[in-house]
Amino acid sequence: MSNSETFSKANLHRDLFAISLDTSLKASLQAQLLDALRSVVSKSPELVGARLPASRALASELSISRTTVQAVYDQMISEGYLVTRQGSGTFVASEITHLSQPQPILRPAVPVTEEWRPFQTGLPDQTLLPHRQWARHLERAWRRPAPELLTRPDPLGWYPLREAISDHLTAWRHLSCDPGQVVITSGAREAFEVIFHGLLGAGKQVAVEDPCWPKLHTILADTANSAHPNRIDQDGLDVARIPQGTHATIVTPSRHYPTGVSLPLSRRVALLDWARQTGALVIEDDYDSEFRYRGQPLPSLSGLDGLNNTIYLGSFSKLVSPALRIGYMVVPKRFLPSTLTYLGRVGPRASLIPQPALAAFMNSGEFAMHLRRMRRIYARRQSHLLDTLSPVADLLDLEPDSSGMHLCLSPKAPLVDRMSDLEVSKRADQNGLRVSALSAHCVLPEKLQGLLLGYAAFDEDTLSDAAERLIAALRTQA
């Protein structure tokens, strides 16, 4: 035996017999020995080819059973750390440079979820959801699931839910549609992807409102379409500003996002006439039309049109919970074949789990009761917020809004002269608030100025405290 071999053997035996096993640990003796032996072999390249002691000798030295040692040897042979030679014993494998001792998984600290800050827009008050009734519907749906829930899902969504949505739209939005025209989605983004990937295709010119939901420009770019922004006025989108060659227009007629302007009937008729004459498509995003506090809501565009040249988009994220990730679209019947083809190819993204519960929730009448309750509470919160902001009536136009979940407050001259809406947003952020600037929703020059204050998700005490902090930010001199 060479001097190097003698040295390697001595080191191996030293390391092996220094192994300490603890019977008080949760890990078994076999697991402890396996981890220790892996460590010895993988961290000492000079041990390649060294002969391990017989299982009986190592077991005696460590005061454990020979069966335990032999099981560890067998495991390491199967993993490639060790090899056996007939009649010679067990040796450290010659090619273990690619093997290493499994590193312990270092679990990071549990992430702390940031709470929603006052005036964040687009948030419902999820504590108002009748959780007991919702849980009952969810439990009933899956305790004894209908056979249809356990087969290949319908690409368009759970049919009973589509029926319930059809009934809801007839009663609340004057939109009469066949349940077969309703498509369940995971939200607005998927709906736009279905429209622009599956129905219209890429390379289209799409008219959008300015200001608008900022992600809309990103979605159109992602679907290889070009957005043509049209600055709204006091009555919303003006069809006269839509350029020739436009293939589709995306509009929020019931309550423009983010200003809250409602498209008057004359402009609705003009927009539908434009669609009929040009063959273009009108995409109606009607995300929070159910929350109307004064007056009668105008019929949906799609209801006026009879779903000939319009696609209607709705969502439950504002009505039930953003966690549901369930929205829907209602398409003209001529688009159903291409919709089915597209969804059959890419697959639906909306989870099937909550769909039967949501259908039962709507059919029970509890959903309508929930909406009416939310309307009453949100109306009170809007009124309370305006009252608490009265000390800055010289800086902000504190006009009430007849619908929605946030206020869009225009700055008056004394405030405009001192700071922009972006500066107000920055100061509010420093005061622990989330106040969105209207100008951040614009892409055209001469951006509109305004402050977006969400109130729906926050109780009156929270709104009072937040209003005081916003007043302090507005009164502070630069």
Residue in the block written with tokens 């439990």: 139
pTM over 0.85: no
What's the confidence (pLDDT) of residue 277? 96
* Domains located in the chain, CATH noted: 3-92 (1.10.10.10), 146-363 (3.40.640.10), 370-475 (3.90.1150.10)
Q: Please, what's the b/e burial string for 305-331 (b: 16 or more CB within 10 A of its CB; e: otherwise)? A: bebebbbbbbbbbbbbbeebbbbbbbb
What's the confidence (pLDDT) of residue 29? 92
What's the confidence (pLDDT) of residue 105? 63
What's the confidence (pLDDT) of residue 97? 58
Question: Where are the alpha helices (H) located in 336-365, listed in sequence order?
Answer: 336-346, 355-363
What's the confidence (pLDDT) of residue 100? 55
What's the confidence (pLDDT) of residue 65? 93
By CB atoms closer than 10 A (0-12, 13-18, 19+), residue 358 is buried
What's the confidence (pLDDT) of residue 44? 73
Q: Report d(CA 328, CA 339) in Å as an integer.
A: 13
The alpha carbon of residue 151 and the mean position of all alpha carbons in its chain are separated, in whole angstroms, by 26
| Collapsed DSSP state (helix, strand, coil) of residue 239 | helix
The per-residue pLDDT for range 295-307, each reduced to its tens digit, is: 766 789 999 999 9
What's the confidence (pLDDT) of residue 463? 98
Of 299, 300, 317, 304, which is closest to residue 185 (Cα–Cα)? 317
Of 115, 100, 87, which is closest to residue 39 (Cα–Cα)? 100
Cis check: omega of the bond before 147, within 30 degrees of 0: no
What's the confidence (pLDDT) of residue 336? 95
Task: Give every residue of the chain whose pLDDT is below 50, as ranges.
Answer: 1, 3
CA atoms within 13 A on the CB side of 108: 3
What's the confidence (pLDDT) of residue 18? 80
Annotate 101-113 with DSSP letters as a single string: PPPPP-PPPPPPP
By CB atoms closer than 10 A (0-12, 13-18, 19+), residue 371 is middle
Annotate 246-308 with DSSP letters as a single string: --EEEE--SS-TTT-PPPPHHHHHHHHHHHHHH--EEEEE-TTTT-B-SSPPPPPHHHHHTSS
Pseudo-torsion of CA 460, 464, 393, 262, nearest 10°? -30
* Amino acid making up residue 471: I
| Collapsed DSSP state (helix, strand, coil) of residue 228 | strand
